[in-house]
Chains A and B, each alone.
Chain A
Amino acid sequence: MKNVILPELGEGIEKALVACWHVNVGERVAGDDDLVELVTDKATFNVSADVSGIIREICVGKGQEVSIGEVLAVIEPLNL
């Protein structure tokens, strides 16, 4: 299983809000697919899958706050 985490976004940015998910649990994704859009005060940021596979878990819902390094989703890697 591969954890998708919220990466470092920049100096002083410690948290972001989940604006929307582009995928659902059980869905197949490719490595460069955007999974989720996060929002800080003045910026939106899309996090991509990085690996091809199946979304096994979405760990934070729309409107929830997440911290840098926190797990956003879990992907079961597959050779698509």
Chain B
Amino acid sequence: MIIQEKTACCVKDLGLMDYEQVYVQQKQYVDRLLNGSVQALLLCEHPAVLTLGRMTNESNIFVDEKGLMKRGIGVHHVDRGGDVTLHAPGQLVIYPILNLAYFGRDIHNYLRQLEQVAIDLLESFDIVADRIFGRTGVWIGKKKIASIGIGVRKWVSFHGLAVNVNMDLSLFSIIKPCGLDIEMTSLSEIKQETISMEEVKRRTIKCFFRNFYLEEASD
């Protein structure tokens, strides 16, 4: 039996923060980890913003730049995999800055582990969620509740996982999320009640630490 030791990870709750600011923080935590510091789990919500991953087909955005500006929605081309996605208040976004060398240097496996974090989180709310083969993310029936897109540099991860908690799902109508003809759902839509973001964060941290066999460390 192989007994893997727990590895250290700090937790940083950034609250509601602009996409660019969090991106800068991610890069700082990646550099810090490459220089021997601990791993990090960043949690936040973003003001409404579209992020365009490296596989984005721009025809999956149905509103032009002017229309997005009018709605106060920013746009960023980002160095993650995947197509276009939307972030907005009421959606929990987690950015794990992990040394994937501890977890087998396997991007496929890392994506499945991130899905498992969301599946476990939803299970804690008595919601049965699952994977769909070939469609990274977490699903409730045919509706998507969590999206994933990552970047890896020197086997350190960045970007991550977005879970729809209490967000305004009508915002997704301006894009084809992840380039797919799908409907999105949220925790509050499923439960038919407002869900405490703080509680979701608390449970997410717990599920994340359990799945990746981590121990909490100071920043």
For chain A, the bracket of interface size reads 10 to 19
Which partner residue on chain B sits nearest A32 by CB separation? B154
CA distance A9 to B150 in the complex (A): 13
> Total number of A-B contacts with CB less than 8 angstroms?
64
Asked if B80 contacts A44 (CB within 8 A), the reply is yes
Asked if A43 contacts B106 (CB within 8 A), the reply is no
Q: Is A67 an interface residue (CB 8 A)?
A: no
Asked if A42 contacts B81 (CB within 8 A), the reply is yes
Note all chain A residues with C-beta closer than 8 A to B107.
Answer: 9-10, 13, 40, 43, 45
Q: Is A34 an interface residue (CB 8 A)?
A: yes
Asked if A42 contacts B150 (CB within 8 A), the reply is yes
Q: Is B142 an interface residue (CB 8 A)?
A: no
Asked if A45 contacts B82 (CB within 8 A), the reply is no
Interface-lining segment among B4-12, B13-21, B108-116: B108-116
Expressed in whole angstroms, the minimum distance between the Cβ of B68 and any Cβ of chain A is 24
Note all chain A residues with C-beta closer than 8 A to B79.
Answer: 19, 37, 44
Asked if A44 contacts B136 (CB within 8 A), the reply is no
Asked if A45 contacts B152 (CB within 8 A), the reply is yes
Note all chain A residues with C-beta closer than 8 A to B108.
Answer: 9-13
Q: Is B153 an interface residue (CB 8 A)?
A: yes
